[in-house]
Amino acid sequence: MSSFSVTFRTTPAAQILDLNGELDAHTAQDLEVAIQTSLSNGKFALVINGANLRYISSAGLGVFMAFVEEVRESGGDIKIVALQPQVYDTFDLLGFPHLFDVLPTLEEAEAKFMAGELRH
Amino acid sequence: MGFRSLSLRTQQIILGLSAGILFACTVVYHIHLEVWGGWNVRWREVLAELAVAATFGLVYQLLADHFQQRKLGPIRALWSLSLVMLGIVFLSGLFGLHYEKGMWFFTHKIPDRTIPGVLVICGMAFLQGAGGAFLLVQLRELVLFKRTAVTVRNWYMLLWSLVGTFGAVVLEKMIPIPYVVEFAIVFAGATIIINVFRLSWVAYLPFRQKIIGLAVSLVMLLVLFAAFSEAVPMRKWNFIIWEADPFVAQYSFALNLTLTLTLVLGILYSVTTLLSLIFHLPTSGDFQRKTDDLAAMRALTQMVGQVFDAQHLPKLVLESVRQFVGEEQIAWLALSDARTGTLRPKVAAMTGIAESQLTRWIDLDAFYAELQTRREPLILNHAVRDHRIHTPGYEIGSLAMMPLITRNEVIGALFVGKTLADGFDEDDAKSLGAFADQVALAIDNARLFEERIEKERLGRELAIAREVQKRLLPDKLPEIPGASLFASYEFAHEVGGDYFDFVQADANRYSFIIGDVSGKGTSAAFYMAALKGTYHALARSDADPRTLLLKANEALSVQKEKNIFITAIAGLLDADTETLTMLRAGHSPAIHIDLHGQVRQLREGGLGLGLTNSKVLAKTFIPITLPLRPGDVFVLYTDGVIESRNAMGEPYGYERLTEALKKCRQEDAAGIHAALLADLNQFTGDLRYFDDLTLIVLKWHGQSVRTHM
């Protein structure tokens, strides 16, 4: 049915998770595992790259909530970047920009991490 | 029925007595013949020969029955055979010697016409005949060690060919048919040759037993050869016991010939046994291992049928591997996560090595990747030279890797390591491969089983959740003067957790709420219940949407799983002031359409409930208050509506909803509701809803319809 995948990239500034496809109740677990893996590797500066994310449901949004507290307590942050308009709309309706650093580009997120600005 | 239904003891007594009587008859016959010159009648001679055949046939049966009861096992059978034959050879030699030389109690050289002489001849003949029967009985146990239809048939062919030879000799006495005896001998020889290669018991012996067997069969060969030289009436062959006389030939020539053939059988069997033992000696270790492999395999196959516990299975598998390969080896089992599937396998169990060593010494990911594409066992016989292995010393000399494949999918890998290089040969690879297949099957079974249990559990949970959800929804909606209202709720087959409610707050004010829990099953139902509890506690006293939602947020934050939240819209309709106040908390925005078809998405609002504390939440809230004008329609819905998809996977979407709404806005709430659902169903076709779907339509008709005027 819905296809979803996560690929990892590590840059000097952050661990980047490139999301592909549709993130819903079925695929939310894949993202959970991916974030968990990053955390257990000691990577807390996470950038969620939504450039190729076509759709997100509320269960998908829940994944970010599940980890954000732990990440911030460890001195890191989850920054969400490059969302497509309709996905951004879902984020926006739920009020996620109040809770997360939702940025237009990957570079901005990296620059913020480089500048040591973890909490937005 | 009949003889075989008698008790064994009775059978033995009857058999023994019959043999004794028959033998006595032959003795009488011989005494008569030798001492008094006998009856020179051909049929009496034939009768006597038949009595001889019957006697030893019965003796054979007696012994066969006896050893059927207590089997000796191959080595002990050989051993007892050697001893018994040695005794017979010794006695024959002793009597023969003295009988010839007249040195013991016989005074004449050849006392052919004395009763004692005849008795000695008959006695020795009986001893040797019984010895022959004993030989056959013991060989039977060895030849038929592995019983198959063919081996049993061959054995009976041998017995009947011996009987046939006996018969041929007797027949020739009556009617001289040329070459009948020779033919019988050739036939018997052929059956003997066939039977002497039945040596399946040899391979199963452990090394020590083989050495003992070697010695015993050598002794037996010598003993039988001695017996043979006694039996054959050719002096120059008698090199072990000189001058021994073939008693049996004097007693019965037919028996003598049969016995000679039996001895040939015994000697040839000793020879093949000897050779086979010698050749199998070096392979005993291998054979033992093969048997152990088989045992381990069988144990594993049993496990497949019994262990449905995916947690314990890896440990059990490694236990089997240890039996399989030996104690001092290392082994580990890596399995991919059944739920996430494609991600790299994790070490599920290990033996002889710690996980920290494993990850430090070995580039596991590289091997997983290779096995993933190779899909065949991989044997590294010089592990130290492989670039993916970095042990500090020589901990791993050789490493065998077997991918675990079920249903065409690599679900993990089994690794077996030895400290020695070249530790795995072709054979090991094959049996480990077969072993891995069994392991894969076992794991797959266990996983399927767990999956099914999980599914059943979820199914039950879902049924309970639905029941709870149904009870949480309002039975009937309040009658609002000046307004029409229609609401519906569709249960999805998987995800759920929608909630809506209407309560009359006081004389003129009506409170409502719509919510969607981001979760499924019982936990969603639980949060729904919490929301309903908060809502009903407050709606009648303080119906302010802001207060309602903040209190609900507080109630939720107490018992919250981190990834679960609720989106909601709370509202208050004041029929007196003709206003509608709404507050959106993360929920899909309500749609407002006026009499003229002007559509507006009511996006103002704040965060979903349960995402943050009430202080932060309160800052994000933007309540809106709208004056109500006749013809105003408000549509409230959960994301199940706009996310419903058609067969092509396209979502229904906000645009389609507003288009449909424009067309039907003139109708009352029930009519609009029906038209919207019809449009949605037309779009999705036969597809069932994936998410719960709630749709509420509220239409303001105006206070002009008020009845008090």
Tell me, what's the pLDDT at B662? 94
Cβ-based contacts of B563 with chain A (< 8 Å): 59, 62-63, 65-66
Q: Higher pLDDT residue, B408 or B628?
A: B628
Q: Read off the pLDDT of residues B557-577 as tens digits, 9 standing for 90 and up.
A: 776 677 788 999 999 999 989
Tell me, what's the pLDDT at B186? 92
Residue A4: CA count within 13 A, CB half-sphere: 26
Tell me, what's the pLDDT at B572? 94
User: How far apart are the CA of B650 and the nearest CA of chain A, in angstroms?
Assistant: 11
Q: What is the DSSP letter of B451?
A: H
Q: At what angle do helices B426-472 and B521-539 cross, to 10 degrees?
A: 20
* Residues near B382 by beta carbon (within 8 Å), at least 6 away in sequence: B397, B398, B421, B422
Q: Higher pLDDT residue, B366 or B579?
A: B579
Query: Quick one: pLDDT band at residue B648, thresholds 50, 70, 90?
Result: confident
Q: Which amino acid is at B351?
A: T
Identify the residue among B343, B346, B518 best suited for mutation to test binding to A, counting A beta carbons within 10 A and taking the highest: B518
Tell me, what's the pLDDT at B324? 67
* Residues near B12 by beta carbon (within 8 Å), at least 6 away in sequence: B62, B65, B66
Question: Could you tell me the strand order of the sheet in which B398-406 lies?
Answer: B346-351, B330-335, B409-418, B398-406, B378-380
B383/B360 Cα distance (integer angstroms): 15
Tell me, what's the pLDDT at B502? 93
Whether residue B607 and residue A99 make contact (CB cut-off 8 A), yes or no, is yes
Structural contact between residues A19 and A53, judged by C-beta atoms closer than 8 angstroms: yes
Whether residue B340 and residue A62 make contact (CB cut-off 8 A), yes or no, is no
For residue B103, pLDDT over 60 is answered with no
The secondary structure element, H or E, covering residue B505 is none
Query: Quick one: pLDDT band at residue B110, thresholds 50, 70, 90?
Result: very low
Tell me, what's the pLDDT at B244? 41
For residue B584, pLDDT over 90 is answered with yes
Tell me, what's the pLDDT at B234? 47
Please count the helices (runs of H) and the strands (runs of E) in chain B.
Answer: 21, 15
Whether residue B518 and residue A61 make contact (CB cut-off 8 A), yes or no, is yes
| CB contact A89 to B (< 8 Å) | no
Query: Quick one: pLDDT band at residue B101, thresholds 50, 70, 90?
Result: very low
* Residues near B97 by beta carbon (within 8 Å), at least 6 away in sequence: B103, B241, B242, B243, B244
Whether residue A62 and residue B563 make contact (CB cut-off 8 A), yes or no, is yes
B332/B351 Cα distance (integer angstroms): 6
The SS3 of residue B427 is helix
Mean pLDDT estimate for chain B = 82
B85/B131 Cα distance (integer angstroms): 6
Q: Higher pLDDT residue, B3 or B676?
A: B676
Identify the residue among B516, B583, B611 best suited for mutation to test binding to A, counting A beta carbons within 10 A and taking the highest: B611
CA dihedral (B593, B599, B605, B608) positive or negative = positive
Q: Higher pLDDT residue, B111 or B472?
A: B472
Query: Quick one: pLDDT band at residue B595, thresholds 50, 70, 90?
Result: very high
Tell me, what's the pLDDT at B545? 93
Buried-state track B575-604, b at ≥16 Cβ within 10 A, e below 16: beebebbbbbbbbbbbbbbeeeeebeebee
Whether residue A94 and residue B340 make contact (CB cut-off 8 A), yes or no, is no
Query: Quick one: pLDDT band at residue B108, thresholds 50, 70, 90?
Result: very low
Cβ-based contacts of B605 with chain A (< 8 Å): 95
Express as a percent the part of chain B with pLDDT over 90.
26
> Which of A60-64, B226-230, B495-499, B614-618 has the weakest average pLDDT?
B226-230
| CB contact A111 to B (< 8 Å) | no
Structural contact between residues B468 and B528, judged by C-beta atoms closer than 8 angstroms: yes
Q: Read off the pLDDT of residues B200-214 as tens digits, 9 standing for 90 and up.
A: 888 778 788 888 989
Tell me, what's the pLDDT at B247? 67
For residue B644, pLDDT over 90 is answered with no
ipTM of the prediction greater than 0.85, yes or no: yes
Query: Quick one: pLDDT band at residue B328, thresholds 50, 70, 90?
Result: low
Average pLDDT over residues B391-417: 84
> Which of B321-335, B432-446, B546-560 has the weakest average pLDDT?
B321-335
| CB contact A29 to B (< 8 Å) | yes
Tell me, what's the pLDDT at B157? 94
**Structure tokens, B610:** 């349960």
Q: Read off the pLDDT of residues B474-507 as tens digits, 9 standing for 90 and up.
A: 888 899 989 999 999 887 765 568 899 999 988 8
For the ranges B11-15, B225-229, B424-428, the maximum mean pLDDT occurs at B11-15
Residue of B nearest to A59 (CA): B518
Tell me, what's the pLDDT at B37? 66
Buried-state track B629-641, b at ≥16 Cβ within 10 A, e below 16: eebbbbbbbbbbb
Average pLDDT over residues B398-411: 86
Q: Higher pLDDT residue, A88 or B88?
A: A88
Q: Which of B343, B567, B605 minimises the CB distance to A58?
A: B567
Residue of B nearest to A94 (CA): B586
For residue B522, pLDDT over 80 is answered with no
Q: Read off the pLDDT of residues B673-705 as tens digits, 9 standing for 90 and up.
A: 999 999 998 998 876 666 788 999 999 998 765
For residue B260, pLDDT over 60 is answered with yes
Residue of B nearest to A61 (CA): B563
> Which of B38-47, B162-171, B656-665 has the weakest average pLDDT?
B38-47
Q: Which of B565, B603, B606 minimises the CB distance to A65?
A: B565
Q: Which of A33, A57, A99 minimises the CB distance to B340?
A: A33
Tell me, what's the pLDDT at B387? 83
- Tokens 């001092």 belong to B328
Enumerate chain B positions whose Cβ falls within 8 A of a Cβ in A: 337, 339-340, 343, 494-495, 516, 518-520, 562-565, 567, 585-589, 603, 605-608, 611-612, 616, 620, 639, 643, 651, 691
**Structure tokens, B421:** 């290089």
Q: At what angle do helices B115-143 and B207-231 cross, to 10 degrees?
A: 150
Q: How far is CA B661 from CA B403, B571, B574, B625, B674, in A?
A: 58, 21, 24, 22, 11
Q: Read off the pLDDT of residues B134-183 as tens digits, 9 standing for 90 and up.
A: 999 999 888 888 888 888 999 999 999 999 999 998 888 888 888 888 89
For residue B391, pLDDT over 70 is answered with yes
Whether residue A98 and residue B606 make contact (CB cut-off 8 A), yes or no, is yes
Whether residue B343 and residue A93 make contact (CB cut-off 8 A), yes or no, is no
Residue of A nearest to B560 (CA): A66
User: How far apart are the CA of B455 and the nearest CA of chain A, in angstroms?
Assistant: 14
Predicted TM-score of the model (pTM): 0.53
* Residues near A89 by beta carbon (within 8 Å), at least 6 away in sequence: none
Q: Read off the pLDDT of residues A59-86 as tens digits, 9 standing for 90 and up.
A: 788 889 888 888 998 889 999 999 999 8
HEC secondary structure over B46-76: HHHHHHHHHHHHHHHHHHHHHHHHCCCCHHH
Query: Quick one: pLDDT band at residue B241, thresholds 50, 70, 90?
Result: very low
For residue A120, pLDDT over 60 is answered with no
Query: Quick one: pLDDT band at residue B339, thresholds 50, 70, 90?
Result: low
> Which of B212-221, B439-448, B633-642 has the weakest average pLDDT?
B439-448
For residue B291, pLDDT over 80 is answered with no
Average pLDDT over residues B499-527: 85
